[in-house]
Amino acid sequence: MMAYRVRIERDKCMGDAICTALCSNWYMDTDGKARFRQETISDSDYESNHEAEISCPAGIIEVRKA
pLDDT of residue 1: 82
Task: Report pTM.
Answer: 0.94
Query: Among 38, 43, 42, 18, which residue's Cα sits nearest to residue 28?
Result: 18
pLDDT of residue 30: 98
* Cβ-contact 20, 27 below 8 angstroms: yes
d(CA 8, CA 39): 10
Q: In DSSP terms, which residues pair with 2 in a beta bridge? A: none
What CATH number is associated with residue 39? 3.30.70.20
* Cβ-contact 49, 18 below 8 angstroms: no
pLDDT tens-digit readout, 10-60? 999 999 999 999 999 999 999 999 999 999 999 999 999 999 999 999 999
| Domain with 19 in it | 3-65
* Cβ-contact 8, 34 below 8 angstroms: yes
Number of domains in the chain: 1
